[in-house]
Structure formats: structure tokens, C-alpha cells
Amino acid sequence: MRPLETREELEWIPAFCDAALPAMDGSREVLVGDLLPVGFAAYAKLFHPIHEDLGCEDENLLWTTPWEERYGRGRPDQPFPARALKWHDLAHDLELDYGPGMHLADFLQAMPQGRWPRRLIGPEDGELDVDTVYHLMRLLRPHTGDQDCLCYWPAERCARDQSLLLVAPLSALLTLHADPRSLGSPTGFWPRDRSWLLLSHPELPFSLLAGAGLLLEDLLRDKPLDGIQIGLELALQHR
């Protein structure tokens, strides 16, 4: 991996044209087209998984703080046995409509007492889990070949408030995630030929993927991944 100091590699991506990413605080409507460039054959939303704590035997136990009970964002004090849940499957269990505009508040409305149960742990904002990264690498490899990729972290995700752009192989997506010294999953990740783009906004519990139609077909067929087709006009909601 090696750093780049030019912004020319970023200017084709609307989300990175300004010094700061578009805020997801509700102050203005943000569309997929405000983050991803036009011209791709297909666009998709990749939901970050919800996890079920298999060590929590009391199904009636609830999270207690406002942040935890609204979004399931609590964390157990120790490592715990868990299994990943797709948004699609949880929506089915709660008899909710699963669609491109779905967000965490939809689950909250259907849960007992309007609070997240302690056994469920909500998705991470801006971060892909290691299993999702592994399956994404397997999905993207046939569409990437041997070319290098670019990894981008905006200033707000860097300790020194200075953005970072690296050139790295596709396998770096997993290496960066596993290395505790790294910044975690990059906010932007794409190959040199710009044939696809993966974007994980640090304030969203899902990632966005743009690419060829065949790539979208592969994503929707991939059972471990939780993806759904979207359009550039879709409004993005924080939670």
C-alpha cells in the first residue's frame, strides 16, 4: 500500500468533491446521487448486518439507555457468541415491508414496547463487518482482476484531521479491516478503472455500491449479503 497526495482521483465522486462529506443530520435531504456518480448501469444498498447475541437467553430483556433502546447500539462488556441477521429476514419476522427506503426506525415501530431487545445488536455506521468484507471481496474479484484499488478515508475519520488516500490491492479491504492499527473499512473503495465504487458513509448503517448490471445481479444472488437495488433519486435517512 502506498499513499497518494492528489485529489484528482476523488473528483469524479460527488461525496468527496468537498472537504467534508454531506452531513446526515437531517438539515437537508441527501440523495444517493449526492454521493455516487451518474453513469453506472446499476446501484445498490448493502445493509450492514444486525447481530443476535446468542448468549442472551432472556428474550424479554431490553436495552435501557436512549441510544441503545432506539438503535440497539449497546455493546456487551465481553466478547459474545453471535450470528448475523439480514435486515430482510428481521423485517420478515416482524411483518414489515422490506424495500430500498427501509431504515432502523422501521424496526423500532414493530418491536415490543417500541424498544430494541437486548439480544439484538444494531448495525455499525460506516463500518463493514469482517464477514461482509470477505463475501464482498469474493463478489468483486471477478469484476476487478489484478488491478490496484484506491482506499479513501475523509478527514473526519482520521486522527490528524487530514484525509488519507491509498493505493492497494483488492485484498487490502480485508487486511485493513483486520489490522487494529488501521482506520478500519475505507469510506471509499474503487478499482483504478473505476468500474465499480463502494461507499460507506460514516453516519449510515449501510453501504452503497455502484457498478455494472452483472455486478448487481451477483450481489442480489449472494445469500450471505443483504443487498437491494436502488436509484440515484433515493433519499438517504440517517436512522
Our count of domains for the chain comes to 2
Whether residues 43 and 58 fall in one domain: no
87 close to 46: Cβ distance less than 8 angstroms:
no
Whether residues 174 and 100 fall in one domain: no
Q: Measured between alpha carbons, how far apart are the two ends of the chain, in Å?
A: 34
Q: With a threshold of 0.85, does the pTM exceed it?
A: yes
Whether residues 114 and 140 fall in one domain: no
pLDDT at residue 187, as a whole number: 93
Beta bridge partners of 46: 207, 227
Whether residues 37 and 147 fall in one domain: yes
Whether residues 138 and 101 fall in one domain: no
Residue spans of the chain under pLDDT 70: 1-6, 67, 69-71, 73-78, 160, 178-182, 238-239
The half-sphere exposure of 24 on its side-chain side, counting CA atoms within 13 A, is 20
Whether residues 97 and 130 fall in one domain: no
What digits encode the pLDDT tens for the residues 58-116? 888 888 877 676 667 666 666 778 888 999 999 999 999 999 999 888 888 888 778 88
Average pLDDT, the chain: 86
Domain containing residue 113: 50-121
Whether residues 80 and 152 fall in one domain: no
Provide the 3-class DSSP secondary structure of residue 47. Answer: strand
Whether residues 158 and 224 fall in one domain: yes
Which grid cell sits at 211?
A: 457498478
Whether residues 209 and 138 fall in one domain: yes
Whether residues 169 and 114 fall in one domain: no
